[in-house]
Structure 1
């Protein structure tokens, strides 16, 4: 008789059409998992009987609940549906801007800007924190690059990268902003299947909502995502009934590392971070009810994002920003070795530093400083997306 190993376990998921109802067996996606798992638990209902024999009446099963988490290495296109669920938003498709868009008849470039002679970049749809890719610009050195937008007015895009300046009007250009996700209020649920391949058994978890997304970077490590989940119910399948999902799809993109992640923090690029964690929490929960062992819904609540950063100390700029409660931004951009413009990007446009601490005097190596981030919705409007965090990727 075979015993189940801890490794030969496949995880697949598919979005549900209706909460708690299994979708069709085709069209699922394999979850590229490092560790974790979901579990169904039941509450315990204790009897209050006062027995004359001095013993205790057996307890009964109560309400069911599903919870757990999956940990994975970030890779291009592998987790877009789950990130979308954590954001409760909907991806805006790639935006292609050229000389016919928004009256942008021609552009010129300076070292750190793209300037339109007419029309409006705002009307065209570009916002601060977007990543755009120029093609067909007059200077070939500007083409095919990931350009981070740090400022937007009607006539000018200010960018973090250094461009080749050209004052000659360019009347034939293309600027592409790959697909983008900001936060919303669209609740999505999934059916998730864990198949124990050695013993031919599947657990099928239904009504699963993503209630938490953690993004973690450590030196010389992968960019690690943790998806926390809360579900409604589960069932066990065996033999010919397992697995439920047929031929789930799987991405083959390579995992992204912290060493290939560009970080712009507080208005400048930095290469001295030693730890960074962002945690988006929707505080998802079911509700116990009378007359049913399962919650009728898994509710997601107000999104809260916490963050912490540790870095080598080289000056007092961030310490002063902490004292002044300055509004800061953070932009993480990881470029995949699969292609020059294959990337993922997370941007937070509105936070301040909520705490400041230093490593002890006498500790080896460089002194570090650590900050907690106080993150809120960006409500400036205009050039700024109305969100706490946004995600962008070149994945289709």
Structure 2
């Protein structure tokens, strides 16, 4: 008998964010396992998405999509209760009529938890197994102490999660995360066991033949403070001024300025734009453009700040390990965990231009060795991050 999976994502409305591709990959993989998949999504979901997914347009409100809208008086304090009520009202319409072997919620926050706790109580036969998946973490990284701090709001989150403990212990509920850091933090605040899953990336390409071409180091994705873009441009400038590195070419994507914590606007430097060793990508890339650039990339530069990426996934990093591309990356968080296990490269200290410069020079000087290790590890990377492995682990209790 065919098993039924329900994916619940209130923010699936259009193709502007990652939800469509993410859910599409999962739905495709589960179909190969013989499951039928439906997707509970936003009421205003695009028709093109309906063509690819079996959609149930349920949700009028979405926490992520509505974040910029004007709040009701006092909503800052009771908003998580209000949103849970809205989620409950929308989701119960489906659970009243249908039973599912597995219900998967891919981007859960505190604003959804009370709804699912009540739904489990009222419709236990409609949900054989429920997976509540968290892509953010409750702690805040302190760059000065190099430790995680927990805001007061984490006590509320931990208290609600603790209510799910009996369900977790019986296997009725699976609490999932994508990083070791997030797993540690959630278990710390709740006392409940969390399961670590891979981030599904169905992506692996062969690198173009780059014989007799300049060594090409790149950083793709919109320039941001949290990605260390300000540090990276300073490091690149220092290296291109050194005549010993005239054989190296850099690409950096910088579509618009961004704000620094002190309020200053960080723009791409004119010296960088003028250098014949640097390509500045000043527009968003479509899929084919991005793929062509990846094929022509020798090394990836990822000086992401731990204040944002300590327990956060970077899809670009996974694409690099899947392709056997060595990286320069920040030590002390998810990047180090992942690249050291599934790829190779040079780990550097957080928020240090000097360390970034030395890391890039080390990678350039010993590129063949790092490339060999990355190429040897790419098979394991592809196997771990492919959607079928994610679905195998996800549906193990289904």
- TM over 0.5, shorter chain: no
- Structure number with larger C-alpha Rg: 1
Provide the TM-score with structure 2 as the length reference.
0.21
Structure 1 or 2: more strand by fraction: 1
Provide the TM-score with structure 1 as the length reference.
0.21
Structure 1 or 2: more helix by fraction: 2
